Structure 1
Amino acid sequence: MSQTTNIMGIPFPNVTMNQTVAILGEVVDQENNKLFHVITGNPEIVMSCQQNASLRKIVDQAGLVTADGAGIVMVSRFRGGQLTERVTGCDLLFRLLEEGDQKHWSFYMLGAEENVSEQAVKVIAQHYPGVIVKGRHHGYFRADEEQQIVEEICTAQPDFLIVALGAPHAEHWINKYRHQLNARVAIGVGGSLDIVAGKTKRAPAIWQKLNLEWLYRLLSQPSRWRRQLILPRFAVRAMLFREPK
């Protein structure tokens, strides 16, 4: 794999979206029984890793950590790194669906509300008819229901397990059951199924191009203001961060 850029102790491989999709395609083709865990590393995950040792271990053991967010790329450039573009969970999911439409990849969708999960699968069937959705389950399950869900995923044997439980819950959940899931690749994608289903709209292309998607979300959902405070905190800490000697 290509060289990495270190941000607050987290190594980010210098991979583009196209390279990421190619890597995951190779993983699917290899038919390896070992789960390949992809973490879309956003500022929240990087910041959480500074205090959460268990999450840090999960990130360190992941097959691939992508630069999820303009803040990650911006800090990389400031510190002389080589990250060239964002590879967000949402963008990656849509690219995998596009590729999967041609290669007939299979997916299992876990997360979101029941009606959103159902609608997302309908949208996928309409726009990506070559994609095989082997199963789905909403994200509001009880602890005593988890094993049944795991067994369902194991039986389905999907190429891609898409987990929309929010970070870092999705990462912990994938890691907890990684030896039972029987999937090729598992990815935490935040609220991306809401976008697939049309419940939540993405920022217009110009906002995305200007790396201002976070601001668009804040303006359209003012209740997120507390969550967005982490972005300036991350930027300052990451730019001033010194690697331990």
Structure 2
Amino acid sequence: MAGTVSILGVPFSKLTLNETTLHLTKHIQSGEPKLFHLITANPEITITSQSDELLRTILHEADLITPDGIGIVLASRRKGDPIAERVTGYELLLELLAQGNKLGWSFYFLGTDEHTSCKAVEKITERYPNVKIAGRHNGFLTKDEEPAIVAEIQHAQPDFLIVAMGAPYSDKWVYKHKQALSQVKVVFGVGGSLDVIAGKVTPAPAIWKKLNLEWLHRLIFAPVAKGQKSRWRRQAVLPKFVYRAMIRK
């Protein structure tokens, strides 16, 4: 993978947010009949991949992995091969919606709860009236429902499939159905981005973003979906990441 830096074996893209958006735009415009799987990975995902063989395979077969976390950027600097900036799923989604509003791209949204899914799509339609909504569905799927949803997405042939079912579940779900989603041009997971767009979760204030403390804002203020590990438990992996990626040689 060109233009990457390896952090604990994960090849992170060195493209900026604008460069990543341009890269995806070129893929859409090329008409290449290939599903482009982008992954936004943070220190938690990086550490999890060390012991999760399937996740490690998914990361190495991805078309692009963006650095979704200041820890990744700092680790690249420590390595002497710096990444210019973070490229988070939320920021990338907003950039692509803005670009899609200019170019008439289509999006299918899969994930979060039913009410939030509806509200997020409603807000997106208001803010980006030229974006085509190819479809949407909540993320609480049973195994029996999955084939019908996959068939619906395939039939809709969206430019972008946005998956908001939590990491790394979203990317494992995409990987499981990769062949069946061949008519989709680009797919990536966005974590809780639809919750923010819908207004269910308050985005971090500008000062928190400037200080690279969005993770702390989420830790304190963002609710955790039923069935997911608490954010405090998930953040327990950060010391491991700091030691393995920035201290241990």
TM above 0.5, yes or no, is yes
- Give distance in 2, aligned partners of 1:31 and 1:42: 30
Corresponding residue number in structure 1 for 2:226: none
Contact between 2:37 and 2:64, CA under 8 Å: does it hold in 1?
yes
Corresponding residue number in structure 1 for 2:147: 147
Which structure 2 residues correspond to residues 177-192 of structure 1 after superposition, within 5 A? 177-181=177-181, 182-192=183-193
Corresponding residue number in structure 1 for 2:135: 135
Corresponding residue number in structure 2 for 1:208: 209
Corresponding residue number in structure 2 for 1:232: 239
CA-based RMSD of the aligned residues comes to 1.4
- Give distance in 1, aligned partners of 2:234 and 2:55: 19
> Could you say what secondary structure the match of 1:143 adopts?
coil
Contact between 2:201 and 2:222, CA under 8 Å: does it hold in 1?
no
Corresponding residue number in structure 1 for 2:39: 39
> Could you say what secondary structure the match of 1:32 adopts?
coil
- Give distance in 2, aligned partners of 1:33 and 1:83: 30
- Give distance in 2, aligned partners of 1:138 and 1:191: 13
Give, in angstroms, the shift of residue 162 of structure 1.
0.2
- Give distance in 2, aligned partners of 1:107 and 1:191: 17
Contact between 1:8 and 1:241, CA under 8 Å: does it hold in 2?
no
Structure 1: runs of 5 or more not aligned? none
Q: What is the number of equivalent residue pairs in this alignment?
A: 242
Corresponding residue number in structure 1 for 2:227: none
Contact between 1:108 and 1:136, CA under 8 Å: does it hold in 2?
yes
Corresponding residue number in structure 1 for 2:86: 86
- Give distance in 2, aligned partners of 1:34 and 1:2: 18
Shift of the 187–32 alpha-carbon distance from structure 1 to 2, 3 Å rule, reads same
State the Cα deviation string for residues 19-64 of structure 1 (Å, max 9, x = none).
Answer: 1000100111122221100000111211111011111111111110
> Could you say what secondary structure the match of 1:134 adopts?
strand
> Could you say what secondary structure the match of 1:5 adopts?
strand
Corresponding residue number in structure 2 for 1:99: 99
Give, in angstroms, the shift of residue 135 of structure 1.
0.1
Shift of the 197–221 alpha-carbon distance from structure 1 to 2, 3 Å rule, reads closer
Give, in angstroms, the shift of residue 241 of structure 1.
4.7
Corresponding residue number in structure 2 for 1:167: 167
Corresponding residue number in structure 2 for 1:57: 57
Identity %: 51
> Could you say what secondary structure the match of 2:179 adopts?
coil
Contact between 1:2 and 1:15, CA under 8 Å: does it hold in 2?
no
Give, in angstroms, the shift of residue 2 of structure 1.
4.9
- Give distance in 2, aligned partners of 1:56 and 1:221: 28
Output the amino acid matched with 2:240.
R
Moved more, 23-32 or 111-120: 23-32
Give, in angstroms, the shift of residue 221 of structure 1.
4.3
- Give distance in 1, aligned partners of 2:178 and 2:247: 35
Q: TM-score, normalised by structure 2?
A: 0.93
Corresponding residue number in structure 2 for 1:69: 69
Contact between 1:2 and 1:14, CA under 8 Å: does it hold in 2?
no
- Give distance in 1, aligned partners of 2:236 and 2:134: 38
Give, in angstroms, the shift of residue 178 of structure 1.
1.0
State the Cα deviation string for residues 123-161 of structure 1 (Å, max 9, x = none).
Answer: 011000011111000001101100000000000000000
**2:26 counterpart of 1:26:** yes
- Give distance in 2, aligned partners of 1:33 and 1:229: 41
Shift of the 9–125 alpha-carbon distance from structure 1 to 2, 3 Å rule, reads same
> Could you say what secondary structure the match of 1:144 adopts?
coil
